[in-house]
A = this chain, B = another copy of it.
Amino acid sequence: MLVDERRSRILKMTEEQGFIALQTLVTALGASESTVRRDLESLDAAGLIQRTRGGASFPGDARADFDARRSLASVEKQRIAQRTAQLIHDGETVLLDGGTTTLEVARNLTGRSLQVVTNSLPIAQLLMNQPEIELIFIGGFVYPKTGVALGQLAVESLQRVHATRLIMGTGGITDDGLFNSNSLLVETERQMIASSDRFTLVADSSKFGQRALSHLCELREVDELVTDSGIDCHWKQMLHAADVSIEMVETAATEQPLAGQ
């Protein structure tokens, strides 16, 4: 059997069943375990499936979203979130996109006096009972995996609001700009950028060089980036050229040797 045929069959089976065990694939395809592993590795790198222990899942499946939810925010993410929260002034109107990093930012906004606009159910849930925060939710079709509202209704709602600052994460950053995995999401995020004065991007260093399905925007649309110090020199130059101001937090790697803290 040819490589491409085998891989497309894996893809098809994963899409149909949402989740598939490695051993099942070995039997179904008649290939060795090593080969199937390599196929999964390749498909995962291409972003077409999501590898999990013991098999693979389809990115759109409900059972798969679990990984994303489970993943504890890394130390970098938390640091980035803290710094980002510090950049926000009391009284601002902040537009918060969905995502794990922005959720961390929201955690750091509790007790602050702000107006928050968001399309993320988890963030709304978190901030809904904060007495000092006036919360406006952007409605729309709720994407099951992440709990963010998308689509036409979301875009139209966003057209009616205006924020002084947008906090957004991203799937990947390359020379060509920002990327995200979902085209519906990208459409909504474009309107977010249009509805805000200042665009603050939050992205840990692992996002650089990553490319995802849909192109979101050019790099120069970003006003400000909060990232960790693991970022490569090449990207610093590129960001500088695109007129993006950089806020950098120490990575765990550079700080751990310093103290017991």
Contact = CB atoms under 8 A, between A and B. Distances in A.
Dominant SS at the A interface?
A: mixed
A140 B142 contact: no
Contact of A4 (B42, B67, B124): B67
A46 interface: yes
Interface string A118-152: 01010011101111001111111110100101000
Interface of A: 2-5, 7-8, 11, 19, 21, 42-43, 45-46, 48, 52-55, 57, 60-67, 69-72, 119, 121, 124-126, 128-131, 134-142, 144, 147, 149, 153-154, 156-157, 160-161
Contact of A153 (B11, B53, B61, B157): B157
A77 to B, nearest CB: 13
B55 A2 contact: yes
Given A2-B55, A60-B126, 19 more contacts: A3-B52, A4-B52, A4-B63, A7-B66, A11-B66, A43-B70, A48-B70, A60-B125, A61-B129, A62-B125, A62-B128, A119-B139, A124-B142, A128-B142, A128-B144, A135-B141, A136-B140, A138-B139, A156-B157
A75 to B, nearest CB: 14
A96 to B, nearest CB: 13
Contacts of A65: 129
A7 to B, nearest CB: 6
Given A8-B63, A121-B125, A129-B61, A141 B136 contact: yes
Given A53-B3, A66-B8, A69-B48, A135 B142 contact: yes
